Structure 1
Amino acid sequence: MRNFYLLLFLLCTFTAIAQNQTGSVRGVTKTGDGTPAEYINILLKGTSKGAVTKSKGEFEITNVTPGQYILVASFVGLNSVELAIDVRAGETTVVPDITFQEDASQLNEIVITGERSYQNEISSLASKSSAPLKDIPQAVSYVTKELIQDQKAFRFTDIVKNISGVTQESITGDLTIRGFGTGSNVMINGLRISKGWTPTLISNLERVEVIKGANSALYGYSDPGGTMNSVTKKPLDVSLQAISISAGSFSTMRAEGDFTGPLNESKTLLYRVNIAYQDAGSFRDLQERKDILVAPSVSFVPNQKTRIDLDLIYSSIDGRVDRGQPLMGAYEGKSLLYSTPISLIATYANSYNKEQGLSFLGSLNHKFNQNISFNTSFITYSYDRDYLEHRVNNAYAPDGEGNQRPTLVEMRLQRGTQRTTNFNMMSYFNFDVNTGPVKHMVLIGYDFAQQGTPAGTWQTSLAGNYRNAANTRALGSYNPANSSQYLLDADGNPVPNMPNFDLANPNYIPQDISTYFTTTAERDQTLYYTNGIYIQDQLKFGKLQMMLGLRKEFYADFENYKKDDEKKVTQTALIPRVGLVYSLTKNINLYSTYVEGFQPQTASIIGDPDIYGGPFDPLTSNMIEFGGKSDWFNNRLSITTAVYRIEQNNILISANDTSNPDLLEQRGQEVSKGVEVDINGRLLPNLTISANYSYNNITITKSDDPELVGTGKEFAPHNMGGAWLRYNISRGILDGVGIALGGHFVTEQTTAQYADLILPGYTVYDAALFYKIEKVRLSLNINNVTDETYWIGRGRSSVTVNPGAPRNFLFSVGYTF
């Protein structure tokens, strides 16, 4: 036994001697706004000694042989930091705090993971250059993944409340920006594709950006109110895995995974895989839905000058289309809005909507030297939809005398398939040059985009609304003057081809569509392509900057594509962009800008002309904007203000045709004027904020109907805004606890429905609790704390509206390893 104690004594002695012969290195890393930088690689150059920073940015390297070293701190997307240090035996070398700045020269910016602020400083979409947001003469709003995570947002419709001037118009995801609809296209990493019928999951996104006003000088096709862009997460050179499971109201179950790291020792080959699944019900009847997202990506970074990224995004949706809460045609109450419960939907249980989307993206970024770089990227996208929908037909059922029965709505059948394909690529050079005292950031590029509807898709619909007297075929709308031609029930009312939906006594029992008189037609094949060349120069002379841009757009569409009378239609446009930025102080920039928008409105973009109508004139727009961008509290807080005027011509709106609810018509001109404010960042080291406010007044200034001229546009509230604040406790027994409070408001909206029904204004409050200990993160989110009843916009019918969700909660558990 004495030998054992002797051996133990000698082992401890030699260990202590060995430790006295080595030293250690300790320090803290931070980002530019003072936030602890998590998952930073720390390495002693020329050795295998290193560490990865923890959640508070701390690191320690032990058992280091005494001597002089170069300590390297690095992370993809951040400028590396090198420090000379001296390690002494038996001592701990404490290095000064290491502060990182984001590398704005990269095409696909990669933001460090961990709990940062809600602030973002760069956007490649706004100028296709490395210029910081502060130097861009145009308002850019954004939502970072940190805010998305804190609010437990899962779809685009969950985050728009955080962006000034953006509203959700319908349950299925239609949005407006500065009063204008966002159209049928979205952007992923600056590449345009057509959007699906309902919004997909967003677990693979680094952030969402909105560039306000038309951006046609850089991208051609552009919505006048603004462009929404999704920036995907990119692989990191540090191994990191995170999983999260959530459960909450409406039988919601969620699971997410985010896995990233190097695939080889040299860390030149990186990977990332984001997966997400949600199985959730709703406060709305028959709105159970299953969502799947799988998004793997690979990056090749052979050196600091070159980066290649490949991304695959697969999404799947299995649910039903929600066209809103149907209202009664007459109601003896305080408002028609209360004539039916907000849960009511006019459909049947055998309706379904299945969507699949598959995107493949690639990008190459190469820096030839400090002054010249080249970027090229592409996306291929295919979208497939299979659906059976029983839906309202924009009209109430008539009685035998032709008077509407306010508790019965006509119904319509849609059964079919839909497929859309997209290809989009862009390539451009960036040149940084000087001409005397003037600095130039020159951009020269070329874009190509193509979209089509291939052969083989079809749609079955009702052959008519009512049955003939012999019950052998369907007739159109009911005409009481010819009642003898229609099949009548025992009360003398016309018998519909498809049963009417009873709002007072709803019945969701599946319907046998084989009993209807229907017609089936193949969808028309469509194709359009567009390409453009552009040049832009951002000049800087002292405190003054000027942005000058010009694009030549070439658009081609095929009428009656692949038919005997096929005709190619071409359009061209010359699109300018002019902007000024003046640095009033080190922290405050003032700017002004003028941009124009161009948007063809042809069958290839809008859809089947037999359904949607047309042909239509191209949509054109222009915008004048003035504003200011400023940084406060040592760049921890950013504030953007903007004043704007947008003029849009040839707008498409619903024709409110009872025989064809999807039919569109063209309105002459609308003018939108407004003010916006966005605030993002940190008020205090532990207090983070995202806040916004907007005032918008959009007026119809030209129309074939003179009574509309001078009136306000429908579903365009004058005032809206919101805020979300999070406070983290970092010491004491509550260390790791966080609390967040938020809310958003929207003032009343006109609807152009039911003799100008008004949707009342509303304010909704949200809250969240967080607790993080080591690798585990717990959160509880409560939305609509006061259980407000409210309506956010239109339904997808002239007899429906879009209700907001009542009080609900979500509890989540996350683990990082």
Structure 2
Amino acid sequence: MSPQNLHAAPLRKTSLLPVVRGRLPLSICLALACVSGPLMAQEASGGPSATADTATELDSVLVVAQRAERVSNGATNLDLDIKDTPQSISVVSNEQMQQFGTDSLNEALRLSTGIQVDEWETNRTTFTSRGFDIENTQIDGVGLPNDWGVVTGAMDTFGYEKLEVIRGANGLLTGVGNAAGTINYVRKRPTNDAQGLVGISYGSWATTRAEVDYSTPFIADGTWAGRVVAAHEQGDSYLRGKDDKRDFLYGVVDGQLGDNGTLTVGYSWQKGQTNGNMWGALGFMYSDGTQAEWDRSASTTQDWTNWDTTTQNAFAEYTHRLGEDWQLKLSYNYRDVENATKLFYAIDYNATGLEPGSNLGLFGYPWRGDDEMSAHLGTATINGHFQWLGRDQEVMFGVSWAKSEANNWEYAEAIYAGGNEYGYIQMPGFPWAGNVVPEPEWGALSLYGSLNQRLKRAFGATHLSFTDRFKGVLGFNYAEYHRDGASYGAAFDQTESHTSPYAGLTYDFNEQILGYVSYSDIYHPQSQTDVDGMYLDPTKGSNYEVGVKADWLDKRLLTTLAVFKAEQDGLATGEGYNQHGQYYYVPVDVESKGVEFEATGKISDNVDLVVGATALKLTGRDGDDTFRWVPRRTANLLLSARLPSYAALSYGLGARWQSDISNQENNGFVVRQDSYAVFNGFVAWDFVPNATLRLNVNNIGDEKYINTLRYSGYYGAPRNYTLSLNWRF
């Protein structure tokens, strides 16, 4: 475990503060009000059709056509496709997620270029890009609570049409944030015609899954339609004592109100249950400086542990046409997250490393807690077109308001015989069984933390055409943020405000090649505290990106080559423990620069390709050793094809490679993971036109690797299989 690891490991009970789950962090709160340009009520394939100037045609033109051209509902609030957006963007499509069997967001994001999925615990994950944590996460362009950039549990992908990853500083999106990027999850929407899908699967560790997706118009002219999506999954794990169960439900209705309005209303619910989860992960170093090797099933958990998460989202969107060139959009989003946990942590308490031969030296700590967070988000935007320089120009303005409330409780517990003064229990030699430490007799439930947050925001952007080839994106973002609350008796009350500019320029060298340059101001309020328990000042800096985008093969293949540089001053970096046993942070200036490449599209009528690579350099207080858990080189591949002579048979290969990583554990020794590659594949057979049988094999080479060294880590899954059957109707 690294010194930065108090997200997972307390030295005293008071140091449990960073384990609070479901809070609405500052970085995400500043993204909460980031909304799209017109949010469309239907996908490009959906929406009623019409041949006359009727309300039905309005839906087709206002909603469907614009949505078909949109890159991201959370991009610039302007109608820009991927090639014309002066930033690096990747898309993971619903088809790719189905082909490679990625039914959770963690699995799906591993398909994307430049994204590192750090599962440093079984139920908590951090996504990084270009060396920094991705702390701006959105659904349909609306920001989500995402504790310190940490994703809790495995979120199901079945309710999403695609995932959009915008890499680099998100000034072009929100005007605030760090230099990592933004992930936008695009919900499924109703379709024009009645259609559906039923799927079942069975895989390694007795993992079973069932899913249903059905969409239908409600009335003959198709102006109102609905869609319902549901999934159930459960199974054991390669990790000792772990099993999971997940239920997901999503419903959405949209349609027209009068001749000029469209309304969309939706709700989603997910219940995730994990038994035998790890809090923290494995220790890898002996006291003599050698690195330990464990079975891939090794776990520090006890049989009584669990982590249950219930997430609810509700939203309403109304779009109104104001004449031929302008429209207004109003949106409201509600989110509620509840967590119930029983946890067991293992730590090298004396910081000496494990004893060679006996594997003694670890101490355990039990903890139980509940928390709940609710958030309300409201936004109004207006966008339209005007004439300037004899050309059509586009502009948008918006205001937003958001608030969230979070409360966190913990249970008192009995102190075991043999435990030290802080309640840590000396453990037998590792690995141990799941029944070594019985469940404590939990005591009274008490509130130990509360957090209230408010955000007011005003923003604007314009897409200007100076010539046929030379264009620009200019914008600003003003945000006023307030938070108050208390943690273990320490009260806080803070208000901040900032205005951030951003700009991007593009130039079409010819019909195939476009060059771009972009700048974004970095302003990122931070949720981490210093040695005295006070919140750190916001990190500030700048982000630059220069790139070339090119179409190939009659615009079927798009390549992007980007060079980037980001400077973040005062970035929260883990330092150690204060006198109260709480983990604290210090501000550090960090610079990230590098090169990214991606090619995506079709290289023939039967072959689809995504290939990407990132080369990165990070420097800071530790020189080039800053954040050594971040791989400096990564590459990814997705290749899928159909047999030209028998189109019913398809196959694919996915791969991800990363360079070596390392980190320093509490005992001062450095744990290392060499470079490695993981290959996944599938074979699918459409044995009838509307049914597909698919076999997925993950980690084909059965590579053994530590999945991350971010805070702590454990081994990735060995070779595993899934057989699925999908029927479309």
Alignment TM-score, normalising by the size of structure 2: 0.85
What corresponds to 2:671 in structure 1?
Answer: 757
What corresponds to 1:768 in structure 2?
Answer: 682
Partner Cα separation in structure 1 for residue 532 and residue 311 of structure 2: 23
Partner Cα separation in structure 2 for residue 676 and residue 200 of structure 1: 28
- Residue 416 (structure 1) aligned to one of 364, 369, 384: 369
1:193 aligns with 2:144: yes
Cα distance per residue 1:439-460 (max 9 Å; x no partner): 3211111122222214xx4113
| 1:191 partner letter | V
1:448 aligns with 2:401: yes
Partner Cα separation in structure 2 for residue 257 and residue 337 of structure 1: 45
What corresponds to 1:358 in structure 2?
Answer: 312
- Residue 789 (structure 1) aligned to one of 704, 717, 728: 704
Partner Cα separation in structure 1 for residue 416 and residue 58 of structure 2: 61
660 and 298 in structure 1: CA distance in 2 versus 1, 3 angstrom threshold? farther
What corresponds to 1:807 in structure 2?
Answer: 719
What corresponds to 2:103 in structure 1?
Answer: 154
Cα distance per residue 1:627-647 (max 9 Å; x no partner): 122222222212222110011
- Residue 640 (structure 1) aligned to one of 552, 560, 571: 560
438 and 215 in structure 1: CA distance in 2 versus 1, 3 angstrom threshold? same
Partner Cα separation in structure 1 for residue 643 and residue 546 of structure 2: 39
Partner Cα separation in structure 1 for residue 137 and residue 363 of structure 2: 33
- Residue 558 (structure 1) aligned to one of 472, 481, 484: 484
- Pairing of 1:317-336 with structure 2 (within 5 A): 317-320=272-275, 321-323=277-279, 325-330=281-286, 336=291
- Pairing of 1:69-88 with structure 2 (within 5 A): none
Partner Cα separation in structure 1 for residue 532 and residue 252 of structure 2: 38
596 and 501 in structure 1: CA distance in 2 versus 1, 3 angstrom threshold? farther
1:722 aligns with 2:636: yes
What corresponds to 1:283 in structure 2?
Answer: 238
Partner Cα separation in structure 1 for residue 559 and residue 200 of structure 2: 35
- Pairing of 1:41-80 with structure 2 (within 5 A): none
What corresponds to 2:498 in structure 1?
Answer: 573
- Pairing of 1:601-616 with structure 2 (within 5 A): 601-602=526-527, 613-616=533-536
- Pairing of 1:587-598 with structure 2 (within 5 A): 587-598=512-523
What corresponds to 1:18 in structure 2?
Answer: none
Partner Cα separation in structure 1 for residue 317 and residue 50 of structure 2: 32
Aligned 8 A contact 2:279 2:301 in 1: no
Aligned 8 A contact 2:384 2:395 in 1: yes
Partner Cα separation in structure 2 for residue 269 and residue 44 of structure 1: 14
221 and 410 in structure 1: CA distance in 2 versus 1, 3 angstrom threshold? farther
Name the SS for the 2:97 alignment partner. Answer: helix
What corresponds to 2:326 in structure 1?
Answer: 372
Aligned 8 A contact 1:412 1:461 in 2: no
Partner Cα separation in structure 1 for residue 253 and residue 358 of structure 2: 60
Aligned 8 A contact 1:324 1:803 in 2: no
| 1:435 partner letter | W
Aligned 8 A contact 2:47 2:60 in 1: no
- Residue 195 (structure 2) aligned to one of 231, 236, 240: 240
- Pairing of 1:294-309 with structure 2 (within 5 A): 294-302=249-257, 305-309=260-264
Partner Cα separation in structure 1 for residue 356 and residue 726 of structure 2: 58
Partner Cα separation in structure 1 for residue 379 and residue 557 of structure 2: 33
What corresponds to 1:674 in structure 2?
Answer: 594
What corresponds to 1:173 in structure 2?
Answer: 125
131 and 762 in structure 1: CA distance in 2 versus 1, 3 angstrom threshold? same
Aligned 8 A contact 2:114 2:613 in 1: yes
- Pairing of 1:345-744 with structure 2 (within 5 A): 345-395=299-349, 406-454=359-407, 457-460=408-411, 475-476=421-422, 497-509=423-435, 511-514=437-440, 521-541=446-466, 542-560=468-486, 568-602=493-527, 613-657=533-577, 663-700=583-620, 703=621, 708-731=622-645, 734-744=646-656
Aligned 8 A contact 1:451 1:527 in 2: yes
Partner Cα separation in structure 1 for residue 396 and residue 356 of structure 2: 63
1:104 positional shift:
5.1
- Residue 208 (structure 2) aligned to one of 253, 263, 269: 253
Partner Cα separation in structure 2 for residue 356 and residue 347 of structure 1: 22
1:288 positional shift:
0.5
| 1:696 partner letter | L
1:654 positional shift:
3.6
Cα distance per residue 1:504-540 (max 9 Å; x no partner): 3512117444469x88641222111111111211111
Partner Cα separation in structure 2 for residue 403 and residue 792 of structure 1: 24
Cα distance per residue 1:648-689 (max 9 Å; x no partner): 123234445499897241231111111111222111011111
Aligned 8 A contact 2:90 2:112 in 1: yes
Alignment TM-score, normalising by the size of structure 1: 0.76
Aligned 8 A contact 2:175 2:501 in 1: no
Aligned 8 A contact 1:458 1:523 in 2: yes
Aligned 8 A contact 1:407 1:504 in 2: yes
CA RMSD of aligned residues (A): 3.4
Larger Rg: 1
Greater RCO, CA 8 A, separation 6+: 2
802 and 230 in structure 1: CA distance in 2 versus 1, 3 angstrom threshold? same
Aligned 8 A contact 2:337 2:373 in 1: yes
**Greater CA drift, 185-194 or 777-786:** 185-194
| 1:782 partner letter | V
Aligned 8 A contact 1:532 1:554 in 2: yes
| 1:128 partner letter | N
Give the unaligned 5+ runs of structure 2. 1-42
- Residue 311 (structure 1) aligned to one of 266, 287, 293: 266
Partner Cα separation in structure 1 for residue 488 and residue 440 of structure 2: 32
| 1:724 partner letter | L
Name the SS for the 2:75 alignment partner. Answer: helix
Partner Cα separation in structure 2 for residue 601 and residue 562 of structure 1: 19
1:306 positional shift:
3.1
615 and 672 in structure 1: CA distance in 2 versus 1, 3 angstrom threshold? same
Cα distance per residue 1:778-807 (max 9 Å; x no partner): 1111111111111221365xxx42321111
Cα distance per residue 1:695-719 (max 9 Å; x no partner): 111111xx4xxxx245332211111
What corresponds to 2:80 in structure 1?
Answer: 131
Aligned 8 A contact 1:622 1:648 in 2: yes
361 and 220 in structure 1: CA distance in 2 versus 1, 3 angstrom threshold? farther
